């Protein structure tokens, strides 16, 4: 008799036995062996170690070389995480973080990703790059069981910030995504970013926000349920997911990941590129007290950026980018401007900006004081 988890895996279309693994692979993968291999032997290679979000690995904004093969390695890690004081999630992650780490390359570079699924995991995973062309974004060539690895190479022919996510097939796709398996790749134009007039623009740093909607079941007493592993959490989680009402909407994996003691910092005059990823659901970033100086709302850098935006729209299944130069010191809140999601469900980040106040931009003419009127 199957264990409860094995039964779930089978019921969910997952592979719990070798024969089922083969069946799943035949259905979800493709054979490209008849095609001539690409000869990239003349291209230089560079390897980047991935950073933990909201940080991004060191990179050039303007490419100093011709196209290269850019190597990355990611481990898929299934683990329980705490998403709020009273809520835990059996998460699935790229490299242990939510969102998955950002990869940065230039247009016409080749991205070469080694994807590893440790034997300690319980499920098949893969990766669908929205920046890639063909084979379900690479998903059909990267489906791996626990204890397997694969290497995918694709040419980054389109410039912009793009979502990547796990997509192992059928109902596993939304489940793995809302369990944490998404991130961003940034493909910069080789000549760097440009403003509305086509003049070069640069940023001093990137702040990488990954927004997630989580669907954590509650028990009969209204307490969030905690599970032994992801498989055990699936039936109850699916019930919550299919009602489309998230229990948490968070930046970078948990309520408070980027507020309070975890607040981000910046300096007056610093130009920050905010990159915002949401793989599953629409969102609308807003910087309270600031603006989007230049916004690539759809995230694609060969489109002319929009200027002076108050709120911008990120379509579910995409990443967007907004450049802002901080002009005043103080505490800024970067929120999803569905304010219920921001204040009650978690979608808020704080940025503490150092500098000198500019009374020309804003001045408190009269501090709050008594008023005798009726």
Tell me if 176 contacts Cu ion by CB under 5 A: yes
103 annotated to bind ligand: no
Distance in angstroms (rounded) separating the CA atoms of residues 232 and 227: 6
Q: Which is nearer to Cu ion, 144 or 347 (CB)?
A: 144
Whole-number Cα distances in Å, 209 to 29, 102, 173, 355: 31, 10, 21, 24
Q: Residue 165, annotated ligand binder?
A: yes
Q: How far is the CB of 168 from Cu ion (least distance, A)?
A: 5
Cα torsion 141, 143, 144, 145 to 10°: value is -150
Q: Under a CB-based contact definition with an 8 Å cutoff, are residues 357 and 328 in contact?
A: yes
Any residues with CB less than 8 A from the CB of 89 and at least 6 apart, and which?
80, 81, 82, 83, 179, 180, 214, 216, 233
Kindly list the catalytic residues: 125, 128, 130, 165-166, 176, 181, 286, 310-311, 337
Contacts of 121 (CB under 8 A, 6+ apart): 76, 77, 78, 146
Number of H helices, E strands in the chain: 5, 21
Site size toward Cu ion, by CB under 5 A:
4
If one asks whether residue 116 binds Cu ion (CB under 5 A), the answer comes out as no
Determine if residue 125 is labeled as part of a ligand binding site.
Answer: yes
Among 125, 165, 248, 286, binds Cu ion (CB under 5 A): 125
Q: Which lies closer to Cu ion via its Cβ, residue 77 or residue 342?
A: 77
Q: Where are the beta strands (DSSP E) in 215-253?
A: 248-251
Q: In this chain, which stretch among 1-9, 180-188, 238-246, 329-337 interacts with Cu ion, using CB under 5 A? A: 180-188
Stretch that binds Cu ion, among 10-18, 168-176, 331-339, 354-362 (CB under 5 A): 168-176
Q: Judge whether 302 is annotated as a binding position.
A: no
104 makes contact with Cu ion (CB under 5 A) = no
166 binds Cu ion (CB under 5 A): yes
Select the span of 20-28, 178-186, 314-322, 355-363 touching Cu ion (CB under 5 A).
178-186
95: tokens are: 């490299």
Q: Any known ligand binding at 57?
A: no
Chain residues that interact with Cu ion, rule: CB under 5 A: 125, 166, 176, 181
């Amino acid at each position: 008799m199957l264990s409860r988890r094995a039964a779930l895996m089978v019921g969910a279309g997952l592979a719990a036995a070798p024969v089922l693994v083969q069946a799943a692979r035949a259905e979800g993968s493709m054979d490209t062996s008849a095609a001539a291999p690409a000869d990239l032997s003349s291209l230089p290679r560079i390897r980047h170690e991935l950073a933990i979000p909201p940080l991004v690995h060191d990179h050039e904004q303007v490419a100093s070389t011709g196209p290269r093969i850019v190597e990355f390695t990611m481990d898929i890690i299934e683990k329980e995480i705490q998403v709020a004081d009273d809520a835990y999630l059996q998460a699935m992650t790229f490299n242990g973080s939510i969102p998955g780490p950002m990869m940065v390359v230039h247009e016409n570079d080749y991205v070469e990703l080694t994807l590893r699924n440790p034997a300690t995991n319980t499920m098949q995973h893969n990766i669908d790059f929205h920046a890639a062309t063909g084979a379900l974004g690479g998903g059909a060539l990267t489906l791996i069981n626990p204890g397997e690895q694969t290497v995918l190479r694709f040419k980054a022919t389109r410039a912009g910030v793009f979502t990547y996510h796990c997509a192992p097939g059928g109902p596993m796709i939304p489940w793995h995504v809302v369990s944490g398996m998404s991130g961003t790749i940034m493909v910069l134009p080789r000549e760097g970013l440009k403003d509305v007039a086509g003049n070069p623009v640069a940023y001093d740093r990137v702040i990488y926000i990954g927004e997630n909607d989580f669907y954590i079941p509650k028990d009969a007493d209204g307490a969030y349920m905690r599970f032994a592993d992801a498989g055990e959490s699936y039936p109850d989680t699916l019930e919550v997911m299919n009602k489309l009402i998230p229990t948490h909407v968070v930046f970078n994996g948990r309520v408070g990941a980027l507020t309070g003691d975890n607040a981000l910092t910046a300096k007056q005059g610093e130009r920050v590129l905010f990159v915002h990823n949401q793989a599953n659901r629409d969102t609308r970033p807003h910087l309270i007290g600031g603006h989007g100086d230049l916004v690539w709302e759809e995230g694609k850098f060969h489109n002319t950026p929009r200027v002076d935006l108050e709120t911008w729209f990120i379509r579910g299944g995409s990443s967007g980018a907004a450049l802002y130069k901080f002009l005043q010191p103080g505490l800024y809140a970067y929120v999803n401007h569905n304010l219920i999601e921001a204040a009650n469900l978690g979608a808020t980040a704080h940025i503490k900006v150092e500098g000198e106040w500019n009374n020309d931009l804003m001045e408190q003419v009269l501090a709050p004081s008594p008023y005798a009127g009726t």
